[in-house]
Amino acid sequence: MSYTAWILLTASLVGLSCGLMGVFLILRRMAMMADAISHSVLIGIVSAYLITRELSGWHMMVGGIIAGLLTAVLVQWFNSRGVQQDASIGVVFTTLFAIGVIMIATQAGNAHLDVKHALMGEITFVPWNVVQLPWIGDIPEATLILIIVLIIVLVAILAFYKEWKITSFDPMLAASIGIPVALMHYLFMTLVSVTTVAAFDAVGAIMVVAMLITPAAAAYLWTDRLSIMLVLSGTFGVLSAIGGYYIAVFLDTSISGSMAFATGLVFMISFLCSPKHGVLAQYFRTA
């Protein structure tokens, strides 16, 4: 595959994985958790680097997942102690992200690990860091990890589709019929953390937040059916990744930033043109 094809494939995998997970974040009214986890994983990644002194490998994934789960647990703990959920999220993720930034500045300044890279990523470097697979040949490590993560996400959604559907819409009903709501919540947070960490190195925190929230929010405007919403959100994520790349090429600017901008364009089109909730549709119905 060509250099451009690997970038488009990697970005599309991010858009698809994040788009699928983002639907449940939107339905659970936990959109800000995407922002929280995508930033707080930095402290886990930096900690993994300081322990191993290596910038690639599964230990980075483990560190990020632990940080993401720590964020979810702390938010839930503060919320159970009377702090509003949005305030809990704001306190936890800004504190953990700030600690990660301080650790980079004081302990990892001589490594290829900096705040700009954490926020915006550098997807153009993805095709250069490859691993060799039998019968397949060389494949970028980030692409391979994202393929594995996408498979995990798809298997988890199919395996627990009924449980997540019920817990997302009516957790009280789910608890009354014996579904372990807390366990499903933390399993979901684990998947969000895995998806976030896998995408973090390639595209940075900004695009992860954009891909987790905006395609799902756009899909929510088009349909009330969960299955269709999942398909639309994943599709919007892929379209944003591909469209954003060509916007970046045309403007000669940041690829990740352009992909995040493309998610905004998709949302605006949906906001204006969706048949049920779109501004234009509502205008013509009342005209």
Hey, what amino acid is at 38? S
Mean pLDDT of 222-243: 92
Average pLDDT value over all residues in the chain? 82
Q: 27-36, 100-109, 250-259 — which one is most confidently predicted on average?
A: 250-259
C-alpha distances in angstroms, 141 versus 119, 187, 199, 208, 250? 20, 25, 12, 18, 27
- Tell me what the mean pLDDT of segment 130-153 comes to: 82
Amino acid 182: pLDDT: 84
pLDDT cut 90: percent of the chain above it: 22
- For the stretch 50-97, pLDDT in tens is 887 766 667 777 888 888 888 888 888 888 888 887 788 888 888 888
**Euclidean distance between CA atoms 21 and 216, whole angstroms:** 8
Distance CA 218, CA 184 (A): 25
pLDDT of residue 109 exceeding 60: no
Q: 193: which strand partners? A: none
Strands 130-133 and 137-140, how do they pair?
A: antiparallel
Token pair of 6 as six digits: 């690997």
Phi, psi of 284 (to 5 degrees): -70, -30
Q: In sequence order, what are the residues at sequence separation of 6 or more whose Cβ sits closer than 8 angstroms to the Cβ of residue 154?
A: 20
Q: State the pLDDT at residue 153.
A: 92
Say how many C-beta atoms besides its own lie within 10 A of residue 281's C-beta: 15
**How confident is the model at residue 36, as a pLDDT?**
80
pTM above 0.95, yes or no: no
252: left (phi over 0), alpha (psi -120 to 50) or beta: left
Q: What is the pLDDT of residues 86-95, one digit of tens each?
A: 788 888 888 8
Any idea which residue has 């997302």 for tokens? Answer: 168
Question: For position 198, what pLDDT does the model report?
Answer: 81
Query: What is the average per-residue pLDDT within 156-182?
Result: 86
